[in-house]
């Protein structure tokens, strides 16, 4: 079973306007709602690829109910901790002449409630996969991911970490199966500019020396490169189409890579399917759908 963790899920409210002017009432030309959060995005793409997953995390209030119901409607098992107070956050995405975002803070998560999440992770068994994705809410301690990984020590769990900076670095001693930085995140992590292939590989190799088994680096319009534990370097290009949306593209790549690896245990195919999923989401208003994913896969 694949488990995805989203500590601070959301409802993403996307509004379209011809232009946005501060200080007056603006009228939308269109709007959409999506359930959001990096781990949730991974689960949604896995569902499109007909792979089961269980979504873990915290929800609260009427927005939390909407998130859980939305996941169940997609055939995804929602096993969240229901918080007593507050509401799951609403993120506003403004698409006008410029794109802007207003992200909510989310509900308070107590130590007692986090302990309940740790208890849920006890159900993971040898051969399972857990995806730790996104930042940690302010009300949770900075070592939240480490505490989860400590709890899983001794089990043969496939660990995927999609996080940044020190949060990612702190997970490396637990030998994650996959991490997915981009060049900007590598620059932030190593505090030096990473702009070319040589420096990208140098950073990826350092991350592998620190514990990462496979390092998948997203290169944006240049595709992606995988530094694999089998010693090989795999590369994938991209399909050229108009980019409509970048939100969730990296999460889609993680989901596709996992699905491809579980299906064939082949890193080359995993990278190809991951790239197809990332591209398909970038060319969609929301997350990619199955038909579009496999159409793009056939063109890579």
pLDDT digits (tens, 9 = 90+) for 114-136: 999 999 999 999 999 999 998 88
Average pLDDT over residues 64-86: 94
Query: What's the pLDDT score for residue 121?
Result: 94
**Does residue 274 register a pLDDT over 90?**
yes
| Mean pLDDT to the nearest integer, 75-81 | 94
- pLDDT digits 0-9 by tens, 134-180: 888 888 988 999 999 999 998 999 999 998 888 999 999 999 999 99
Looking at the predicted structure, is the pLDDT value of residue 286 above 90? Answer: no
Position 281 scores a pLDDT of 93
- Report the mean per-residue pLDDT for the chain: 92
Given this model, what pLDDT does residue 25 score? 94
pLDDT at 134: 86
Residues designated catalytic: 251
Residue-level pLDDT at 153: 92
Minimum mean pLDDT range among 79-83, 163-167, 249-253, 268-272: 163-167
CA of 196: how far to CAs of 184, 235, 238, in Å?
A: 11, 14, 18
List, as one string, the DSSP characters of the chain. -EEEEESS-EEEEEEE-S---TTS----SEEEEEEE-HHHHHHHHHHHTT--EEEEEEE-HHHHHHHHHHHHHTT-EEEEEEPSSS--EEEEEEESSSEEEE--------HHHHHHHHHHHTT--TT-EEEEES---TTS-TTHHHHHHHHHTTS--EEEEE--HHHHHTTGGG--SEE--BHHHHHHHHTS---SHHHHHHHHHHHHHTT-S-EEEE-GGG-EEEE-TTS-EEEE----------TTHHHHHHHHHHHHHHHH--HHHHHHHHHHHHHHHHTSSSS--HHHHHHHHTT-
As a whole number, mean pLDDT of residues 234-240 equals: 87
- pLDDT reported for residue 39: 95
More reliable by pLDDT, 191 or 180 = 180
pLDDT at 292 over 90: yes
pTM: 0.93
């Amino acid at each position: 079973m694949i488990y995805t963790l989203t500590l601070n899920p959301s409802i993403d409210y996307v509004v379209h306007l011809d232009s946005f002017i501060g200080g007056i009432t603006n009228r939308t030309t269109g709007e959409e709602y999506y359930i959001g959060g990096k781990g949730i995005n991974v689960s949604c793409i896995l569902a499109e690829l007909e792979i089961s997953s269980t979504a873990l995390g915290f929800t609260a209030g009427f927005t939390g109910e909407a998130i859980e119901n939305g996941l169940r409607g997609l055939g995804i098992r929602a096993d969240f901790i229901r918080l007593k107070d507050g509401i799951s956050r609403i993120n506003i995405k403004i698409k006008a002449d410029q794109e802007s975002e207003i992200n909510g803070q989310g509900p308070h998560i107590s130590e007692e409630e986090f302990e309940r999440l740790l208890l849920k992770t006890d159900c993971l068994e040898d051969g399972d996969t857990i995806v730790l994705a996104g930042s940690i809410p302010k009300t949770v301690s900075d070592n939240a991911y480490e505490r989860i990984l400590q709890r899983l020590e001794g089990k043969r769990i496939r660990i995927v970490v999609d996080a940044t900076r020190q949060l990612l670095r702190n997970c490396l001693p637990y030998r994650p199966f996959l991490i997915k930085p981009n060049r900007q995140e590598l620059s932030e992590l190593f505090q030096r500019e990473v702009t070319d292939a040589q420096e990208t590989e140098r950073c990826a190799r350092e991350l592998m020396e620190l514990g990462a088994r496979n390092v998948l680096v997203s290169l944006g319009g240049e595709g992606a490169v995988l530094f694999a534990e089998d010693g090989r370097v795999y590369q994938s290009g991209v399909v050229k189409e108009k980019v409509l949306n970048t939100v969730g593209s990296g999460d889609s790549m993680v989901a596709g890579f996992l699905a491809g690896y579980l299906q064939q245990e082949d890193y080359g195919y995993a990278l190809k399917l991951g790239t197809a999923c990332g591209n398909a989401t970038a060319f969609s208003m929301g997350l990619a759908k199955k038909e579009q994913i496999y159409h793009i896969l056939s063109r890579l």
